[in-house]
Copies of this chain bind each other. A is one copy, B any other.
């Protein structure tokens, strides 16, 4: 049995972590079925078997792997067909893309999404979420949150993706692979939280719809926050 431990809201079907979405998309790419093991923030003790406290964790028979890119690497080693990472050079470039994207996308999106996250998580998670995030941010969630500024920050980050996707269907070329999934994780984060802070008529919007359509054709509708 293949199990994906992932973050959920008060409703266990509402999974929204961008890093868990990366793994869902990678499993779909490989054609591998899995059972979702949704956890709330305060269920972290259930990850003790993985030796660390963060989702996503993939348990695949005897194998236990955490961290989205490590899971991509594991999947390519265990199931070589339909590579996600590619050869050593492709894999190194994916590492650079991940650094660049982590620097440009999540901060603005978090500003846009943080109160949505607070609204969808289980009440049991509220204290943990607020305390851990306010400590990192250095200010109350309500002062940090700013959907307009967050969307503006995202818009600043999208031109390079739009330019590339105006000329090719996927970030990784004519077919999607790991670069698409590691970027798309952030878009599924917003989408599952009920938001879409990008233009659906843009190349990025069309690319997201293609990935969403492929996902939903195989795994059914994505649960979205109301």
Contacts and interface: CB of A to CB of B under 8 A. Distances in A.
A99 to B, nearest CB: 4
Given A97-B100, A100-B97, A159-B103, A89 B177 contact: yes
Contacts of A103: 159-160
A39 interface: no
A92 B160 CA distance: 14
B99 A97 contact: no
Contact of A172 (B93, B99, B177): B93
A97 B86 contact: no
Chain A contact residues: helix, strand, loop or mixed: helix
Given A97-B97, A103-B159, 20 more contacts: A83-B89, A86-B90, A87-B87, A88-B173, A89-B90, A89-B172, A89-B177, A90-B93, A92-B168, A92-B173, A92-B179, A95-B168, A96-B97, A96-B164, A99-B160, A99-B163, A100-B101, A100-B104, A100-B160, A103-B160
Interface of A: 83, 86-90, 92-97, 99-104, 159-161, 163-164, 168, 171-173, 177, 179
